[in-house]
Amino acid sequence: MSYSNIYENGYNHNSNNSSIDNANLVDDTVPDLTTVDVIQEIHQTVDKVPENVHGGKFDPFTPIEKKRLQNADGFLSNSYNIRVKETNSDNKYLEAGTVSENYLLIENKRVHDICSEIMDTSQLSWSPVKTYFDGKKYRNVWNTTEAGADLVVGDTVNLMLTELNSYDGSMKAGFRIDFMVLSCLNGMISNKFGWGYSFRHNMQNVNWDQEIRQGALQIAGNMQQGRIDQFARACNQLQRPLDLDKLGELRNGNINKLPALRFGQVVDRYFKEHEEHRNDGTLWDLMQAGTYSLWHRDKMTNADFVNNSHFVDGVLDFASKIAAQA
């Protein structure tokens, strides 16, 4: 068993075995090409569709198609088109991406079914949190209060499981485990302390669903509790005071990739809790202001999840650096 990048192209997580699919990704259209020869068409049937925090344009379990492309003169391309049917439309599709012949189309519902099995075998009770699907990238988030650790700041962190998939080659199929704060249900995504099990969308991984069931071992027994405790110890360092100088140092260093707009929203929420005394807050207060701002958005984008991870690990690393200097 091996860990691998959650993202197939770009953002890394627990990398040790990866080769990006030979695919040119597109957003909307492929010039001068049409689709022919339906190679793979999947119509997913479910009793209940989770609420989509990205909006209502795409059902996470909508029908999808993989078709070969051809030029206007009839020349067949080596590339294939992934099409996603829009909700409440009979014949309107989004072109999610262009992929290679070797691309293995895995539907979101299949990932959901496998992850449901994994949660069942974990012997923990899981509750749905949110579902994200923009027609290309899929995340379905669950949490449990039956596996966690108390923090010295007076709160508790629990496990959070996210189902992962994509139709444009940008993310692998699988799941990852992160953390959620009990009191405010703020999701805390950490590439440093979280873990997961995932596969590239290629034909070599055609038996991915059989292998990924082994991932159940990663959220059972001492292994998951040890990881929670490790994350809790890192969070306990966040009780350190945060003055304006340290806030500036943090912004210009560990969280410098957080977009200015999002950083402004984080700071606004932090200072709202400390209007009279702006130097009496802690790094934990900032962490909660940030994860609240990035997690509880009316309409989320995939960038919100990525920003959450950058912010969480950045603040934790900053606290660790301060502790080492003390």
Q: Do the beta carbons of residue 127 and residue 147 sit within 8 Å?
A: no
Q: Which of 67, 100, 133 is the last residue of a domain?
A: 100
Both 267 and 245 in one domain: the answer is yes
Predicted local confidence at residue 164, as pLDDT: 96
- pLDDT value at position 43? 40
For residue range 166-181, list pLDDT tens digits in order.
998 899 999 999 999 9
Claim to verify: residue 84 and residue 171 sit in the same structural domain:
no
β-strand pairing of 64-71 with 76-85: antiparallel
Q: Which amino acid is at 279?
A: N
pLDDT, residue 46, reads 41
DSSP string covering 189-238:
--TTT-EEEEE-SBGGGTTHHHHHGGGGGGGSHHHHHHHHHHHHHHHHGG
What's residue 55's pLDDT?
77
Q: How many residues does the chain have?
A: 326
CA 94: distance to chain centroid?
21
Answer yes or no: do 115 and 229 share one domain: yes
The torsion angles phi and psi of 71, rounded to 5 degrees, stand at -75, 170
Q: Is residue 132 situated within a structural domain?
A: yes
**Structural domain tally of the chain?**
3
Percent of the chain exceeding pLDDT 70 equals: 80
Model pLDDT, residue 236:
96
Residue 153, SS3 per DSSP: coil
Domain boundary among 76, 100, 124: 100
Are residues 191 and 139 both part of a single domain? yes
Shared-domain flag, residues 220 and 147: yes
Confidence of residue 50 (pLDDT cuts 50, 70, 90): low
47 pLDDT above the threshold of 90:
no
Q: Around Cβ 207, how many Cβ atoms within 10 Å? A: 9
Residue 25: inside a domain: no
Q: Confidence band (pLDDT; 50, 70, 90) for 16?
A: very low
Assigned domain for 1 exists: no
Q: What is the pLDDT of residue 186?
A: 95
User: Is 306 within the bounds of a domain?
Assistant: yes
Percent of the chain residues past pLDDT 90, beyond the cut: 52
Residue 107 confidence class, pLDDT cut points 50, 70, 90 = very high
User: Do 112 and 215 fall within a single domain?
Assistant: yes
Which of 100, 123, 139 is a domain's end point?
100
Domain that holds residue 160: 108-236
Nearest partner of 255 among 319, 212, 187, judged by Cα:
319
Q: Which pLDDT score is estimated for 126? A: 94
- Residue 308: phi and psi, rounded to 5, are -60, -45
Helix pair 283-295, 302-325: axis angle to 10 deg = 170
Mean pLDDT of 271-299: 86
d(CA 213, CA 15): 20
What span, in angstroms and rounded, lies between the C-alpha atoms of 104 and 21?
Answer: 10
In tens, the pLDDT along 234-283 reads: 999 999 999 999 999 999 999 999 999 999 999 999 998 776 555 679 99
Cα 166 from Cα 94, distance rounded (Å): 13
- Residue 140 domain flag: yes
Which range is least confidently modeled, 37-46, 106-115, 189-198? 37-46
Would 2 be classed as within a structural domain? no
Assess contact for 164 and 148: CB atoms under 8 A: no
Whole-number average pLDDT of the chain: 82
Rounded CA-CA distance 227/224 in Å is: 5
265 and 161 together in one domain: no
Residue 291 falls within a domain, yes or no? yes
| Domain assignment present for 312 | yes
DSSP secondary structure code for residue 289 in this structure: H
